[in-house]
Amino acid sequence: MNDLKIHDIKGLVEIPDFTQYLYMALWVLGIVFFFVIIFFIFRYFYNKNQNQRKNYYKILKELDLSNAKKSAYTISKYSRLLVSNEREQKLCEELIEALDNYKYKKEVEPLNDEVKIHFGKFMDNIDV
């Protein structure tokens, strides 16, 4: 009975099946897309932090030291944000301690040379 040939029914035709390859390709593309997104997110936040440091450094570099009170507050604010290592932290603390005489008062005298020297040392040691 198995050898019986029916003439109006054709034999099985093999159809190429690429679904497994398509499935694997979609997984690979998904993983690559995921890593590309992670890379751009990381790069965005890393560069954002670097650009802020450059902006803070630029603000301190262009600071007008003629207004002692405003300068003291600005230097205190941005010097804390610029510090990245222990040496810079020490110089920042010395600078802020020297600037305490120019804060919290109604009238202040102009910045003296000692404070300007501390500020110059701090700015020279900052790596941006």
Q: Would you write out the chain's pLDDT as a tens digit for each of its 128 residues?
A: 566 666 777 777 888 888 999 999 999 999 999 999 999 998 888 777 667 888 999 999 999 888 899 999 999 999 999 998 999 999 999 999 999 988 888 888 998 999 999 999 999 998 87
Specify the pLDDT at position 44.
84
DSSP result, the chain: -TTPPPTTSPPP-PPP--HHHHHHHHHHHHHHHHHHHHHHHHHHHHHHHHHHHHHHHHHHHT--TTSHHHHHHHHHHHHHHH--SHHHHHHHHHHHHHHGGGSS-SS-PPPPHHHHHHHHHHHHH---
